[in-house]
Structure 1
Amino acid sequence: MNTTATGVTTSVSRRVAAGREQEFLRWTDAGMAMAGTFPGFLGGGWLRAASDPEQYHVVYRFADEDTLDAWTTSPARKVWVGRGTGLAQDTVTHRLTGVEGWFEPQSTLTHAVRVSAPPPRWKQAVTIWLGFFPISLLIAMFVTPRLSALDVVTRTVVASVVTTPVMVFVVLPFLTGRLRRWLHG
């Protein structure tokens, strides 16, 4: 039983069958909603590969190994996986803890071989700060002033709901791509 304070993420690369993209996305969203009913589920989503429009990366994040394993071995998930037969083919599955997944070289998303270790945590922290500071500043300047009628908890929830996906899906992939040599040097 391995538990971590930072959670565990499973990333599944799937090649979608020709002409079945919308059906695949509905199936994936249903699976995400179903995962959300399980204890320890922290969130998830999907990304379409820029270089290959039939390749998708689906990410599920859980509090720890035990809660992820409870979901992956559940009868409900097995039924959901069965409903997706023929929609897509799993090509690679990764299981990562912490924020290391943001710093994995892009090639590990399509190849099972890991090409390098995650960078030192201090480099990860610097990279996250480089993205977080300007996004936080923009949110503080343009979003939170429009929410002044709300209490501080609600304003903070709104700010974090906006900031988190921007960081995870836009800023961190952009920064880690630009800082690759420094991060892995």
Structure 2
Amino acid sequence: MSKAQPETVTLVVRHQVRTCRVPRYESWLRRIIATASQCPGHLGVDVVRSHQAKISLFTCVLRFAHLEQLKNWVNSEQRRLLIAEVEPLLYASDQIEINQNKEFWFAPETADAPPPRWKQACVTFLVILPLSLFLPLLWQPIFQFAPWLGGYLASNVLITLSIVLLVVYRLMPMATRLFAGWLGNTDSSTD
């Protein structure tokens, strides 16, 4: 009879690290990798790093010989303490996935996280407010020349259409470029 193959399981750990804290995170990562390597059944680790806006993404794939050994590591006091230590460096909490197949297909995250809605609202307000104050004044000569355009419905349609077209095609692209640093800043001190 042939010997049963080890079941080999993988633990995928994803961390979104604030870019300004990457050096501290990398130091912590070396320590947790060394600690995990001492666990029974540990077969190795691979780390993949990518970058989005102000966030560095780390995906660690740890392999263990058996599911029970992997669970022992995940639930260990050592890992719990190390994760508690790194939490302040992360943009989002520790994300883990257990895969019981030998193969692991990894698709890196590519979409940037959108800015907080309150920041989007501030920029939109700064763009729309001046338009809503001045565009009706700019339309007044046309409404006087063609009184049928100056009626309640027609005038509001023309003014709103003007605002929407200017915002979408001209002003918001310029405003998002102008405020890109602020919109993309995910540090908690500005959120």
Query: Structure 2 length normalisation: TM-score?
Result: 0.48
Over alpha carbons, which structure has the higher Rg?
2
TM-score scaled to structure 1, two decimals?
A: 0.50
